[in-house]
Structure 1
Amino acid sequence: METDNGARVVDQARTSLVPKHEREKRRREREAQRDYGRGRRVNTNGVKDKKLRRNLQALESKYKAAALKAKDAEILLEGTSGYIEPEHELERTYKVVQDEIQGSTSITTARKRFDLTLNELGPYVFDYSRNGRDLLLGGRKGHIASMDWRQGKLNCEFQVNEVVRDVRWLHTNQYMAVAQKKNVYIYDGHGVELHCLNQHRDVSHLEFLPYHFLLATLGASGHLKYQDVSTGQLVSEIATKLGPPASLALNPYNGVCFTGHNNGQIHLWSPSCSSSNGPLVKLLAHKGPVRAMSIDRGTHAYLQLWNKYLLRQRDDIWCLLAKIPRWLFGIYASSAW
């Protein structure tokens, strides 16, 4: 390329000598490191100990491979939730009301607002299908209902005549799991009972791993169980050894289950864990019970604990987890608690 005075510009970086596939590889590595990297890379050239240098190089290689795999798996996680971002540190998102949200969105989005008044058979637990279209509701007094909230169409509604502790959609909106008084039951989209999981007793929390077809249950005995819904086999049963749980959450990005306990501890589990080997990670997150958790793929390394009755942020703790419970992304959903 020539300038106005006839001089020719020389490529200082000489990037033209690098093959196209190599440039694409470097760009992909930079993006993976930016989005999923684990901090600055350790310079091993100055490490004199050969064994330590070799171990550090192996760890850096694993971190790099993990970031690349996470980047490649982005296409499977298209349903990332949105959130409310404050303009300054003093602004509190829990003070935002529905009218303010509706006035700040487009007309198409504003039309999606809906209100449900369910004050007889509650309190309610709820779950959205993976495409966000279908809403599953479970009342403490046995009321189960599913609906297409966009069209306001009721799909099914039935009464189980016993306590309902938690509900979850399975791999499609045609199957749902309900944690009732004694056992966990699986119903189809019309409310017909398909299975009774007798091995899951007194379950209080449910989670479903969509990429593994595993239903995770956690009950009053403190046992975390994984049930394969495709074959009907009990894959794993793990004793947490901490009594009745306070909360259960799933990391949708790697399938790891987080159990919150009454002593303030958070344990990370996978189906390959066992009672003898213990959890993947133990974390003392709070002085009191951990009532609610949620996991985000952000790299801020903060966990925010919320009072679920006042909907106010209680504390910020630097830890291995991430930010903001996912149900608090949509303030409208908090009314079902």
Structure 2
Amino acid sequence: MAESEEPVKNEEKYMRIKPSKDTKKIADIKLRAKITHQEKNSRDAARAAARAEMLLQEEAGYLEAEGLEKTFKFRQDQLVSSFDVNTASKIFSLDLPEFGPYSVDYTRNGRHLLIGGHKGHIAAFDWQTGGLHFETHVNETVRDVKWLHNETMLAVAQKKYVYIYDKTGLEIHQLKNHTYVDQLQFLPYHYLLATIGSNGYLKYQDTSTGELVAERRTKLGPCNTMTQNRYNAVIHLGHQNGTVTLWSPSMPSPLVKMQCHRGPVQAIAVDKGGHYMATSGTDGQLKIWDIRNYGCLQEYYTPRTATSLDISDTGLLSVGMHTHVQVWKDAFRKKQESPY
């Protein structure tokens, strides 16, 4: 069905073809008809896009407080009644008091959840359907868990070695080169499993060939804080002397070494675009860094040491400390007075 000839507000913003000034001057009849047809199609598409513009939401997934209300005082049970059916169906709770604390990891599509309890409990399941892939107890310490390229394989850092399991919980490999590992990271576009632990060696294992690609001695002692920059696959390590080092398997020494805290670094998070980094330390500080120039943008004091940090794709910074989680909005743009 043809679009209406009436002009629509903002339609010029969506035009991809600059209209000809006068097509009547084109002598070739076929060329003139072709250009006229292309311009009409472009105009119709621009009008359709302009009409749909009102359906676009500039900011999705945020809370708006009224009057003297504070968004950080809203409780989950208060919000459930306001959710649509689809959103409410995504809420679930796990009561696991025996084998914690737990390490958790989602697949890249967000569909499958992997949990590993420090006392040996491991489970993987599809959280949307509730379908359990497997559940087992390895009868030894579990320090970290990580999905590999998809939900068919996973890595578990146990008491001494790192083990690879399949979706059914069957042990496939034992990585004896990776000993006393505390943290795992998987680089999906390089098929590399990165590990770091109490021996202070950063190791990269190629999960497609099974080869140990690189082994780097950090020379900074035991390390139990690691994350990756998803934009460029650079590994960020937090050390006991307050420094953060950036690593690539192709380089024998750190790409960057930053002095971030006056005490051990407890947690690191990097945003999706690879521009900003958040760090927390035992000095009670939470700092926001611009990785492009390695400058500190903001500093916050936390009531307790933040032991867990993460940044959502929408730019929300979550800070976990003891039994509480704080969420900060626009923390990278300007200093905030209170949590979101």
Relative to the length of structure 1, the TM-score reads 0.65
In structure 2, the residue matched to 1:253 is 231
2:184 matched to 1:206? yes
User: In the alignment, what sits opposite 1:315?
Assistant: 286
Using the alignment, how far apart are the partners of 1:106 and 1:145 within structure 2? 29
2:241 matched to which residue of 1?
263
- Listed as ranges, the matches of 1:219-298 within 5 Å are 219-274=197-252, 278-298=253-273
For 1:191 and 1:91, the matched residues in 2 are separated by: 47
Q: Distance in 1 between matches of 2:122 and 2:277?
A: 35
Distance across 2 between alignment mates of 1:306 and 1:103: 38
Q: CA deviation at 1:153?
A: 1.7
Distance 1:97 1:87 in 2: 13
Distance 1:279 1:226 in 2: 14
The one of 86, 94, 99 aligned to 1:116? 94
Equivalent residue of 1:198, what SS?
A: strand
> CA offset at residue 316 of structure 1?
3.3
- Kindly provide the CA deviation profile for residues 50-69 of structure 1, in whole angstroms up to 9, marking residues without a partner as x: xxxxxxxxxxxxxxxxxxxx
Report the equivalent of 2:165. Answer: 187
Aligned residue number for residue 310 of structure 2: 325
Give 1:326's aligned amino acid: I
User: Hey, what's the Cα distance between the residues in 2 that align with 1:304 and 1:314?
Assistant: 8
Within the candidate set 195, 215, 218, 1:217 is matched to 195
Rounded Cα–Cα distance in structure 2 between residues aligned with 1:210 and 1:234? 16
Cα distance in 1, alignment partners of residues 242 and 320 from structure 2: 25
SS in structure 1 of the partner of residue 267 of structure 2: coil
State whether residues 84 and 93 of structure 1, in contact with CA within 8 Å, keep that contact through their aligned partners in structure 2: no
**Contact 1:251–1:295 (8 Å) recurs in 2:** yes
Mark the structure with the bigger radius of gyration.
2
Superposed CA offset, 1:33-89 (max 9, x none): xxxxxxxxxxxxxxxxxxxxxxxxxxxxxxxxxxxxxxxxxxxxxxxxx9757879x
Deviation string 1:187-216 (CA, Å, 9 cap, x unpaired) is: 000000000000000000000000000000
Question: Which protein has greater RCO, CA pairs closer than 8 Å, 6+ apart?
Answer: 1
Q: Which has the higher strand share?
A: 2
Tell me if the contact between 2:197 and 2:224 (Cα under 8 Å) persists in the aligned partners.
Answer: no
Q: Within 1, Cα distance between the matches of 2:74 and 2:228? A: 27
What TM-score do you get using the length of structure 2 for normalisation? 0.65
Structure 2 counterpart of 1:315, which letter? L
Local SS of the residue matching 1:102: helix
Q: 1:84 to 1:240 in 2, by over 3 A?
A: farther
Aligned mates of 2:61, 2:279 — CA distance in 1: 14
CA RMSD of aligned residues (A): 3.5
Separation (CA, whole Å) in 2 of partners of 1:336 and 1:126? 17
Measured after TM superposition, the shift of residue 107 of structure 1 is 2.3
Shift of residue 148, structure 1, vs aligned partner: 0.8
Q: Deviation string for 1:80-121 (max 9, x for gaps)?
A: xx9757879x99876553235535543211211000000001
Contact 2:231 2:273 in 1 (8 A): no
Q: Distance in 1 between matches of 2:318 and 2:262?
A: 27
2:263 maps to a residue whose letter is G
> Which of residues 143, 154, 158 is equivalent to 1:165?
143
Q: Secondary structure at the match of 2:266?
A: coil
Alignment of 1:2-151 (within 5 A): 95-103=73-81, 105-151=83-129
Structure 2 stretches of 5 or more lacking a match?
A: 1-17, 21-59, 299-308, 326-340
Q: Which residue of 1 aligns with 2:333?
A: none
- What does the per-residue CA deviation read over 1:113-133, in whole Å, with 9 as the maximum and x for residues that have no partner? 000000001111010011111
